[in-house]
Chain A
Amino acid sequence: MTPPAKAPSRVRGTGLHRPPGDDAARRPAIGPIRAPSASGVVEDNLAGGLHAIVARRSDVPMVEIRLGFPLAGELIRKPAAPTVLSESLLAGTLRHDRAGLASAVQRIGGRLSADVAGDWLLVRGSVLAEHLVEMLGIVGEVLVGASYPSAEVRADRDRVAEEVLIQLSQPEVIVDEEVSRRLYHGHPYASGLPSPGALRQVSAARLRRVHDEILTPALGHLVLVGDVTPRKALAAATGALEQWLARAPAGAGVPLDPVPAVRLGPIMLFDRPGAEQSNIRMARLAPSRTDPSWPATALANMIFGGMFSSRLVENLRERNGYTYSPGTSFDHGRAGSSFLIDADVATASTAASLVEIGYELGRIVIHGVSEDELESARRYALGTLSFEMATQHGLASRLVNLAILGLDPGYVGRYSAALKRVKRDEVDEAARRLLAPSQMVTVVLGDAGLVGDSLALVADVQPSPISVPH
């Protein structure tokens, strides 16, 4: 049989000829959505003051491991050392070289890595559940005995510097660096990525000192989620990490000033000659997760731009075709929270996109939201949170994120219960607080020669030199 060269005429290309009222036209109703919570979680403080959270999720025979540590302001301001540390942490111990550690982890179906995530350092891993004790033993070996061999550290810092150079060639990284500088002026959060020059100066001796400063039991949050019995897992962690937990706490703590008030000003236009698109970013400080208005704020954001079927996406993408994937996001740090609108738009539509974003911001703060929009956003928020709670990976990441912010696992249930209660006037009020176009720091990265004149017609524009190494 050969396929038809053309669609046969009976293929209903438009479907416009169906009789009204037939079965296909009846849209099925949806059922209620349960408010999710992080259920079955056990919390404890282990020896040495280590905060531990364990949750059983046994769909698959794995365990997700997270170990988070807050960074002090000075290390956030100068992130070169923690960044190299996250690479060299697994470069060797007294017992194993780098390949030996990697082999030991891999042999038990494990993964292990470390990253600096803004204002904290995260050690993350996973392992086949039957090998959890061995995996915790390897983690303990690294925490106590990471030796930072000088030759390895030199190689790692050079490689991380190369990786940062690659990152800094990406337009979305350049523009985010400029947004941070502008939004957090003077605060450690303004620092962004470490410079390649600073990275190349990090010494092994410095890493050994920083290791003891950061990776202290009293500052840490250990999260285990998976096919475990929580009490047994806690006992296993206490045993495997015994030597590390016995370490004296570092005295310094992790001081970090709150973020300063935003300085508003003209649109900052950064020139990237030959750019194929303009990267538009609008940012401001936002309510934290503990602010009473946070649930309403989260819903106001979803209606505005936080989901695909939002006003921003409908306007910029589906109506105008200016951009592929505009969106909004929050960043909750220990020192404060921020809100970001991002749109990577066609160069020729840069000014038009800014006008449309400003229009949608103005529209939501002046006219508010509809009941239908609120109900959709509420269900979307509850549904996506349910998915996060349903996987080992999602739950482990959420729990350690909350712990770093000082929030307990019960936060999830309180938050989803609050989402269920939010009223429309609260969302309107939250929208006025979050989305006022006059309160945004606006940054544009693009071909200034092509977009500067039209931007100047719609806003006050200040051409600015790119400050990151590039």
Chain B
Amino acid sequence: MSTGSALAHFERAKLDNGLRVLVAPDHSSPLVAVAVVYDVGFRSEPEGRSGFAHLFEHLMFQGSAHVGKIEHMQLVQGAGGVINGQTMADLTQYYEALPSGGLELVLWLEADRMGALALTEENLRNQVSVVEEEIKVNVLNRPYGGFPWIPLPGLAFDTYPNAHNGYGDFAHLEEATIEDAKDFYGRYYAPANAALVVAGDCTPEDVVELASRHFGRIEARPAPVRRSFAEPRPSQERRKVIHDALIPQPAFAAGYRVPDPVSKMEDYVAYFVLANVLSDGDASRLRSRLVHHDRSVTDLACYLGVFGSDTFLMRDPLLFQVVVFHPGVASTDALLAVIDEELERLAAEGPNEDELARASASAASSHWRGLDPVLNRALALAGAEVVHNRAELVHELPGLVTAVGREAVAAAAADLVHQHRAIVELLPGGGS
């Protein structure tokens, strides 16, 4: 048995209240990671409450029935652990990683806030302020902040769930109430709407026993019926120009639609390989031509999903993005024409065997490198379980990439060439 294959092993259980429990034992270090992922993200937040899913994630750290404000963090860190949460389009993840002697403490903490969150007006107001400062740090006070993940979906999509800014408008954040939070919690934070994954120095028997003890007493309530966010592809190309006085050079992002990752994973993976062939490494088609040959581009990237880190953690619809930073020597249209030319060439000829072999080797090494930290393993399994209903997908990805053939990549390139994309341009200066 080759090294690493032991990491693919995990076991599953389900509590009576519907909570899915996955355990991936690995005793190589006395460390354990816990991920609790809820099947709700910023696409599900109500209209008029943009940013609420993320704000609510902050409130999950503000105390619960038996845990005071700050105490959750203090207890985990005081047990030698790290802790955080993250809100994405379709899921919200909470996690802890710590020496394995703290496992039961963490399960108790996660169960306490899943079962009985403490919501107070004072903590809500405090976290609205904190989130506003977070948005200033990452978006408003930062040149290129939020680009392209905030403006591009806003142009590429028409419906609120897909198009709105997941960080939220300040006005919406400031209008948020405790009632909103109770409603959101009641609707989306049911045990049946979550997956608990424990990876590392533990046994499946112990974890299931501890999970039953602490999460088992949380009352069952129905998981929300998940709505489709599907919307038709645009019927014509969309363009938007944003002027930003703070940026030293222009940038643009093009967004294209792709197949549903959940129901058409094999098709979707061809777009993943296409992104790799176009922009991964100095030998990739767009990087070698635009950055190193034409020298008209400073940096570029192609990826799937909102952030790229969520390529396999999002449902339909989502974007294939081409993001380009350039010194303005060539116009946006000239650069887009090169991108089109390379896509057309790939559509006509497909990638060569070496490009496919390189994509396959990259996928294998990214897979192993990504899963080395026990925390990443827990998060990947939990995310795949929630979004794809198949944690197994995590370990199938390298094989899926290797199975992608030339025709599939050519077809993906042809699909991009022939569809109506959305293009957001970011230009230096105040605009007119």
Contacts and interface: CB of A to CB of B under 8 A. Distances in A.
Given A109-B364, A162-B298, A380-B77, A314 B3 contact: no
Interface string B347-367: 000000010011001101100
Given A169-B247, A276-B136, A309 B225 contact: no
A18 interface: yes
B144 to A, nearest CB: 8
A105 B70 CA distance: 46
Interface string B42-77: 000000000000000000000011100110011101
A103 B354 contact: yes
Interface string A11-34: 111111010000111011111111
B365 A318 contact: no
Nearest to A9: B186
A3 B141 contact: no
A-B interface, 6 closest residue pairs, ranked by CB to CB distance from nearest: A31-B101, A383-B80, A7-B186, A15-B65, A321-B129, A15-B116
A7 B185 contact: yes
A2 interface: yes
B283 A103 contact: yes
Contacts, number: 294
A386 B108 CA distance: 23
18 contacts: A4-B221, A6-B183, A12-B115, A15-B66, A15-B116, A27-B66, A27-B105, A58-B3, A59-B372, A60-B368, A99-B292, A100-B283, A102-B282, A106-B362, A166-B144, A166-B298, A309-B73, A379-B79
B172 interface: no
Interface string A55-80: 00011111000000000000000000
A166 B248 contact: yes
B119 interface: yes
B95 to A, nearest CB: 13
A107 B225 contact: no
Interface stretch (B22-30, B153-161, B314-322, B382-390): B22-30
Contact of A166 (B143, B223, B362): B143
B116 A128 contact: no
Interface of B: 2-4, 7, 26, 28-31, 64-66, 69-70, 73-75, 77-83, 97-102, 104-105, 107-108, 111-112, 115-119, 125-134, 136-137, 140-144, 182-183, 185-187, 213-214, 217, 219, 221-225, 245-249, 280-284, 288, 291-292, 295, 298-299, 325, 327, 354, 357-358, 361-362, 364-365, 368-369, 371-375
Nearest to B298: A162
B35 to A, nearest CB: 15
Contact of A4 (B75, B101, B187, B372): B187
Nearest to A390: B29
A379 B80 contact: yes
A16 B68 CA distance: 12
A45 interface: no
B371 A60 contact: yes
Interface in A367-385: 375-376, 379-380, 382-384
Interface string A255-283: 00000000000000000001111000000
